[in-house]
Chains A and B, each alone.
Chain A
Amino acid sequence: MTLLAERPSPLSHPEEPEHGHEPSGVLNWLTSTDHKVIGKSYTITSLVFFCLAGVMAVVIRTQLASPDGTIVSQHTYNELFTMHGSLMLYLFAGPFAFGGLANYIVPLQVGAPDMAFPRLNALSYWLYLTGGLTMIAGFLTVGGAADFGWVAYAPLSNAVNSPGAGPDMWIVALVLTGFSAIFTGVNIVATIFYLRAPGLTMFRLPIFTWNMLVTAILILVAFPVLTAALILLWCDRHLGAHIFTTTGGGVPVLWQNLFWFFGHPEVYILALPYFGMVTDVLATFSRKPVFGYRGMIFATISIGALSTAVWAHHMFTTGVVLLPFFSLMSYLIAVPTGIKFFNWIGTMWRGSLHFTTAMLFAVGFLIVFLFGGVTGVLLAAPPVDFATHNTYFVVAHFHEVLFGSAVFGGFAGLYYWYPKMTGRMLRERLGQASFWFMFIGFWVTFLPQYLLGLHGMPRRIAEYAASEGWTGLNRVSSVGAYLLFISVAIMVVNFYISWRRPIVASGNPWDGQTLEWAAASPPVHHNFTWLPPVRSERPVWDFNHPEHTTQQHRQSDHATDGLVGVATTGFTDTGEESE
């Protein structure tokens, strides 16, 4: 049945139109084209994959807790870290952001009744789910799951070195989830371009929505390249194509070239959504507008653009790439990222800070990601990269970046929007406990890995000799992993309690600023019965606090912010859009 969605007018509060028999239960899950149902399915599915990959990480860390670990064989160990990385990156960090939270929140933030292409949206989810299950099912095959690392370097990934159905299922899984990501990308762009509420100009969109727009564009740039490369890899494995083999005139390094042309934008596809979540959370819980709103947007756009031109910094050690070009570009990315940091601090500066769980996770993100960024800049220097390539230094670095954004940033977003998505509050004390376990556990796990890397411990090894002297630090790191496990367990308990003994959430429990908080929690079918007038990037705030609207705030801000204000007037939004 097709439904006509009407835009509510500010004067009338129309009754929710009768839309007959929408199915419920499992049938609703199978047939719904509502972005809220699909977004929730995506969120839950990706969190399940996160937990699975987390369990694999715990097994990995247990194996490494003592030298000559005997929990798993070298072969199983290879499968474990490959699937841990693949699940975390392809099935959790990306889909959780653009399929889960963005799917749910972006239409609400732009004041739309649904995504632009609801059935395509549902198809995305089914491709994602079947793809994810295919990847996991690799463990059930005779030869086991894929074991060539999440980057599947040639020639390791060819039919001789990695025979069997498991690696093929990994390839098919990525083709399926790749298409699902592309469809979601199209949907997000179309929704933001075509379904915004009146008055909600592009330069009034919430930063999360802006970041999702740039992310969606990056998805459209990057994922087709991955899909193409995977098909070529399959041809190599089964049709004897010799594209990535040295025999027969192929070039193994071509795989790296193709993969990283996808892979580095992918890193930002995994980061930008979380930057957006954190920005919205910081602004809401500082009770201030985003500091340097336009600067934030231009930083996002430049990060997005630059990220397409740095791919070969992952290939420095191959000796075939243009070192100065890629090194320079990688340094350039640090500039917009720095601007973002500056603006995050500026947003909190002299705000009235409310340290809810979401806010704690957002601040945790700032700290962790800052560290990851600093070590990343170190690695962008080819000499450092040559020294630490393939050691635990790199493992620690990319966990700082990925864990920092996807887990700290992602949980900030999850705690922030959970009331909107479920109509229920989470328990604050449990939430804060899970934060502290996670924050402490994180450093205990990954600081020792930096040191291990400097002591020369290579990554992807299942055992090491006691004489290397790596045992102590490895023990500490494993204890940290258990702390992280406890933190996630506390959070699951928190979800369970909110399910069994709900505390009802109002439409706007956090005194939020952007349009999603004008809808009920959870929003009714087709989302809005009422929309406030949009006169700035925080319409709901302006409506609820007529005594201190965004425009008034700007004027007083410019008068009093002194040094900080002067230093960034170039980046602050000084009023209306000039279109």
Chain B
Amino acid sequence: MKVESHLLLFMASFGAVIALIYWFFSYDDGGTAMLTAFALLGLLPGGYYFWWSRRMAPRPEDRPEAKQSDGAGVVGAFPGSSIWPFVLGLGAAMTALALVFGFWSAIFGLTLAVSAVIGVIVESRRGGAY
């Protein structure tokens, strides 16, 4: 977890330094705002990982000497086939197309999207994970 957090924190500090330099050379709000957002984007998860990396023991994937058997067992629960991502994608697309074709498209789209969300929840309950 250490290297991961260092990577993100490096990105954050680079963004912060550049934002400062850029601001004092240009006084351009737009660019400075975007650079600041970049810095925050690295800081938030990077800080979180850093905080954790100091409180948890290294995972098998952080230890150069780890054996495969150290990680044996359940890795996680992975969903099987599901139609709902497709329905949600279609719904989102139709909702977005309302920007071109008008409001009616969003009605269909949102209906699909909402049923997809319900569908996923029901499916996950039945599958027993999440």
A221 touches B38 (CB 8 A): yes
Across the two chains, which residue of chain A brings its CB closest to B72? A9
A308 touches B128 (CB 8 A): no
Which single member of A7, A19, A126 contacts B89 (CB below 8 Å)?
A126
A494 at the A/B interface (Cβ < 8 Å)?
no
Q: Which residues of B contact A480 (CB under 8 A)?
A: none
Across the two chains, which residue of chain A brings its CB closest to B30? A257
> Which residues between 77 and 130 of chain B lie within 8 Å of chain A, taking CB atoms?
77-86, 88-90, 92-93, 96-97, 99-101, 120, 124, 127-130
With both chains docked as a complex, state the minimum distance between the C-beta of A363 and any C-beta of chain B, in angstroms: 31
Which single member of B25, B61, B79 contacts A2 (CB below 8 Å)?
B79
Which single member of B34, B77, B120, B127 contacts A261 (CB below 8 Å)?
B34
Which single member of A23, A175, A179, A322 contacts B26 (CB below 8 Å)?
A322
With both chains docked as a complex, state the minimum distance between the C-beta of A532 and any C-beta of chain B, in angstroms: 8
User: A220 vs B79: C-alpha distance in the bound complex, in angstroms?
Assistant: 25
Which single member of B74, B83, B84 contacts A6 (CB below 8 Å)?
B74
> Which residues between 1 and 30 of chain A lie within 8 Å of chain B, taking CB atoms?
1-11, 19, 22-23, 28, 30
B26 touches A325 (CB 8 A): yes
A566-579 near B? 1/0 per residue, CB < 8 Å: 00000000001101
With both chains docked as a complex, state the minimum distance between the C-beta of B44 and any C-beta of chain A, in angstroms: 11
A176 touches B92 (CB 8 A): yes
Q: Which residues of B contact A114 (CB under 8 A)?
A: 78
Across the two chains, which residue of chain B brings its CB closest to A304? B11
Interface centre among B35, B60, B83, B129 (most CB of A within 10 A): B60
Across the two chains, which residue of chain B brings its CB closest to A302? B14
**Which stretch, A88-96, A198-206, A484-492, touches the partner chain B?**
A198-206
Q: Which residues of B contact A5 (CB under 8 A)?
A: 74-78
With both chains docked as a complex, state the minimum distance between the C-beta of A146 and any C-beta of chain B, in angstroms: 12
A126 touches B90 (CB 8 A): yes
What bracket does the count of chain B residues touching chain A fall in?
Answer: 35 or more
How many interface residues does A have (CB within 8 Å)? Answer: 83
With both chains docked as a complex, state the minimum distance between the C-beta of B114 and any C-beta of chain A, in angstroms: 15
With both chains docked as a complex, state the minimum distance between the C-beta of B65 and any C-beta of chain A, in angstroms: 7
**Assuming the A-B contacts A31-B82, A168-B100, A309-B35, are A577 and B64 also in contact, with contact meaning beta carbons closer than 8 angstroms in the complex?**
yes
- Interface majority SS (helix, strand, loop, mixed), chain A: helix
User: A193 vs B129: C-alpha distance in the bound complex, in angstroms?
Assistant: 21
A33 touches B10 (CB 8 A): no
A9 touches B69 (CB 8 A): yes
Interface centre among B21, B66, B76 (most CB of A within 10 A): B76
Q: Which residues of B contact A7 (CB under 8 A)?
A: 68, 71-75
User: A139 vs B28: C-alpha distance in the bound complex, in angstroms?
Assistant: 38
B60 touches A199 (CB 8 A): yes
With both chains docked as a complex, state the minimum distance between the C-beta of A538 and any C-beta of chain B, in angstroms: 14
> Which residues between 16 and 71 of chain B lie within 8 Å of chain A, taking CB atoms?
18, 21-22, 25-26, 28, 30-31, 34-35, 38, 41-42, 49, 58, 60-71
A414 at the A/B interface (Cβ < 8 Å)?
no
Which single member of B67, B120, B128 contacts A10 (CB below 8 Å)?
B67
Q: Which residues of A contact B61 (CB under 8 A)?
A: 196-201
Which single member of B3, B67, B77 contacts A579 (CB below 8 Å)?
B3
A258 at the A/B interface (Cβ < 8 Å)?
yes
B1-16 near A? 1/0 per residue, CB < 8 Å: 1111001101100110
A526 touches B78 (CB 8 A): yes
Q: Which residues of B contact A195 (CB under 8 A)?
A: 75-76
> Which residues between 158 and 184 of chain A lie within 8 Å of chain B, taking CB atoms?
165, 168-169, 171-172, 175-176, 179
User: A220 vs B14: C-alpha distance in the bound complex, in angstroms?
Assistant: 16
B73 touches A1 (CB 8 A): no
Across the two chains, which residue of chain B brings its CB closest to A123? B85
A33 touches B79 (CB 8 A): yes
> Which residues between 179 and 228 of chain A lie within 8 Å of chain B, taking CB atoms?
179, 193, 195-204, 213, 217, 220-221, 225
Which single member of A19, A175, A179, A261 contacts B80 (CB below 8 Å)?
A19
A199 touches B68 (CB 8 A): yes
Q: Which residues of B contact A309 (CB under 8 A)?
A: 18, 22, 35
A533 touches B67 (CB 8 A): yes
Q: Which residues of A contact B28 (CB under 8 A)?
A: 257, 322
Q: Which residues of A contact B72 (CB under 8 A)?
A: 6-9
A2 touches B18 (CB 8 A): no
A58 at the A/B interface (Cβ < 8 Å)?
no
User: A548 vs B85: C-alpha distance in the bound complex, in angstroms?
Assistant: 47
User: A501 vs B130: C-alpha distance in the bound complex, in angstroms?
Assistant: 44
B66 touches A199 (CB 8 A): yes
Q: Which residues of A contact B96 (CB under 8 A)?
A: 172, 175-176
Which single member of A118, A175, A201, A217 contacts B78 (CB below 8 Å)?
A118
Across the two chains, which residue of chain B brings its CB closest to A121? B85
User: A10 vs B60: C-alpha distance in the bound complex, in angstroms?
Assistant: 14
A285 at the A/B interface (Cβ < 8 Å)?
no
**Assuming the A-B contacts A30-B86, A33-B82, A309-B18, are A134 and B124 also in contact, with contact meaning beta carbons closer than 8 angstroms in the complex?**
no
A22 touches B69 (CB 8 A): no
Q: Which residues of A contact B129 (CB under 8 A)?
A: 2, 4
**Assuming the A-B contacts A32-B81, A127-B92, A134-B93, are A172 and B41 also in contact, with contact meaning beta carbons closer than 8 angstroms in the complex?**
no
**Assuming the A-B contacts A201-B64, A234-B99, A301-B7, are A322 and B81 also in contact, with contact meaning beta carbons closer than 8 angstroms in the complex?**
no
User: A262 vs B124: C-alpha distance in the bound complex, in angstroms?
Assistant: 36
B66 touches A130 (CB 8 A): no
Can you list 20 A-B pairs with a CB-CB distance of less than 8 A?
A4-B74, A5-B74, A22-B81, A33-B79, A113-B75, A119-B85, A126-B90, A134-B97, A169-B97, A197-B71, A198-B60, A198-B67, A221-B41, A257-B30, A258-B34, A308-B15, A531-B68, A532-B68, A534-B66, A579-B64
Given A126-B89, A322-B25, 11 more A-B residue pairs with CB atoms under 8 Å apart are: A2-B78, A2-B79, A32-B81, A33-B85, A118-B78, A119-B79, A120-B85, A169-B97, A195-B75, A198-B69, A217-B42
